[in-house]
Amino acid sequence: MTGTDDRLQPADGPAGAEAGAAPAPACTLVIFGAGGDLTKRLLMPALYNLSTSKLLDDKFRVIGVDRGQADTGAWTHALTETMQSFTKDKTSEFHTPKIDEAAWTWVTDRLQYQQGDFSQQEVFAEIGRAVGGGSAIFYLAVGARFFGTVVDGLGKAGLLKQDDGVFRRVIIEKPFGADLPSAQALNAQILTQADESQYYRIDHFLGKETVQSIMAVRFANGMFEPTWRREYIDHVQITAAETVGVEARGSFYEPTGALRDMVPNHLFTLLSMVAMEPPNSFDAEDVREEKAKLVEAIRPMAPDDAVRGQYGAGQEAGHDVPGYRQEPGVAPDSHTETYVALKVSIENWRWAGVPFYLRTGKRLRGRQTEISIHYKSAPYRMFRDTPVDKTTPNVVRLLMDPDQGLETQFDAKVPGPQMRLGRVATSMRYKDYFEERPNVGYETLLYDCMIGDTTLFQRADAIEASWRVVQPVLESWGRGEGSVEPYAAGSQGPAGADALLERDGRSWLALPE
């Protein structure tokens, strides 16, 4: 992301690669976890999209590191097959009717596979020889337990030393830590090997165009921001509802659960984008400072303000689906939550007294990521002598995925002799205004790392502040307090989530069918 005034015009190339943007400086991208899902499903399509929009330097190269016995030919072949499969799978994150042979060959010509076990120091010496003296990005697309090991290996091999005109950067995937102490320990460990400015902690929600657009909606328009505060807003709801189950990720998900998987990272990212103060500019440090300040202003949660649930068997899109405990890699008596609903409070001048309700879960009735802003009711007095018995609060919905747009809901007069009110909505979809560009969310993030723009990456202090907020809940659940409520697959989630809002006299927006 650059700080330019792009005005969201349709542009050539993938999202994030602004029209007229220059190719990123030459570098080698070293991917740890080259044989993994993330590389196949997201990183390679993102590199392909960057190649079609000519945003990579001719000298750009990729070195894939993994344990699996393979060579460059076999790795390239496997990646090509996966890319081809996307043309047939409309449900994949990257769907395209046809792969542009020239653009994909441009990428595959630059691939090199390096077999190696990154718990052994020798592999880093080999990577060093392959990288040579140029700039490099080390992408940690590996299990979180390896983050520290890989960074140590890179540091000890001298691969994180930067010289004039040569950068060395590390992209770290989530989850960054499993709680506050482990996040603090990981930050301390990696900062012994390189400077904070060399670390790019990724949250792929920030690669989504619709999430970046929250800043444009708020700060490029005169009509939203003046009312975006406690004087006018009753509460805010943030939802990331999924219809998929845990899929083949049972062994990752079992010790993780919905809270760690989604809240301190993705949902707090949405929360900070919607609630932060206007930054002085779109410069990385200005934006990151405001986001960090916002997270620091969230009060550490009371365990009573969190509800957790786990899906049982049910129906999804007309098919029977198993419950979480029957999924592969999941214990038959598992207590891991697949759903969480939370109430959080921000203790600053703008938001004091305005609750933010967050929910996320798997195997829910509909898929939608959105933020809804619920305004306070208008005064009723002038409707007293009319058939109107109540006014309904306005709602502004920022829709992120799969519906992408903005909706406002308000009351209008029903035509006729009497004053009666009917609920109406105006609805905007980005695709009706702007050309949809191929985007898996990682294009902007990779490009930004190459050009050294940290705006969309998580700073150490903000990550620790996020864990600090949820730490009391993690500790309470760790002591076995509170129960995991069952909910049927294909439902709206556990009853306790409704009760969380009902006790405040509010209710959730319904999930889509």
Report the interface residues with ligand BG6, using CB under 6 A.
174, 242, 261, 369, 401
Residue appearing with tokens 């441009």: 106
Q: Among residues 441 and 496, whose Cβ is nearest to ligand BG6?
A: 441
CB of 360 to ligand BG6, least distance (A): 9
- Do residues 283 and 457 make contact, with C-beta atoms less than 8 angstroms apart? no
In whole angstroms, the minimum distance from the beta carbon of 427 to ligand BG6 comes to 21
How many whole angstroms separate alpha carbon 290 and alpha carbon 299? 16
> CA-CA distance, 28 to 60, in Å (whole number)?
6
Residue facing ligand BG6 at closest CB distance: 261
* 416 C-beta neighbours (distance < 10 Å), count: 7
Query: Which of 293, 241, 235, 236 has its CA nearest to residue 262?
Result: 241
- For ligand BG6, the closer of residues 66 and 242 by Cβ is 242
Kindly tell me which of 233 and 273 has the beta carbon lying closer to ligand BG6.
Answer: 273
Closer of 243 and 492 to ligand BG6 (Cβ) = 243
Which residues are catalytically annotated? Answer: 266
| Rounded least distance, CB 494 to ligand BG6, Å | 18
Q: Which is nearer to ligand BG6, 277 or 401 (CB)?
A: 401
Q: How far is the CB of 287 from ligand BG6 (least distance, A)?
A: 21
Using the minimum distance from each CB to ligand BG6, give the nearer residue, 155 or 257: 257
What is the crossing angle of helices 44-52 and 101-108, to 10°?
A: 120
CB of 109 to ligand BG6, least distance (A): 30
CA–CA separation, 486 and 263 (whole Å) = 20
Select 153 or 250, whichever has its Cβ closest to ligand BG6: 250
What 174-177 contacts at long range (C-beta under 8 Å, 24+ apart), as own/partner pairs, is 174/144, 174/201, 174/202, 174/203, 174/265, 175/144, 175/256, 175/260, 175/261, 175/265, 176/144, 176/147, 176/201, 176/265, 176/458, 176/463, 177/144, 177/463, 177/467
Q: How far is the CB of 261 from ligand BG6 (least distance, A)?
A: 5
Burial of 103 (0-12, 13-18, 19+ CB in 10 A): middle
Q: How far is the CB of 205 from ligand BG6 (least distance, A)?
A: 7
Phi, psi of 459 (to 5 degrees): -80, 155
Q: Given the complex with ligand BG6, which of 39 and 369 has the nearer CB atom? A: 369
Counting DSSP H helices and E strands in the chain, the numbers are 15, 17
Long-range own/partner contacts, residues 130-135 (CB < 8 A, 24 or more apart): 130/28, 130/63, 131/28, 131/30, 131/63, 131/159, 132/28, 133/163, 133/166, 134/26, 134/27, 134/28, 134/59, 134/166, 135/25, 135/26, 135/27, 135/28, 135/166, 135/167, 135/168
CA torsion angle 130 134 137 141 (round to 10): 0
- What is the closest distance, in whole angstroms, from the C-beta atom of residue 338 to ligand BG6 in the complex? 10
Cα distances from 387 to residues 417, 418, 422, in angstroms, run 11, 8, 12
Cα(125)–Cα(114) distance, integer angstroms: 12
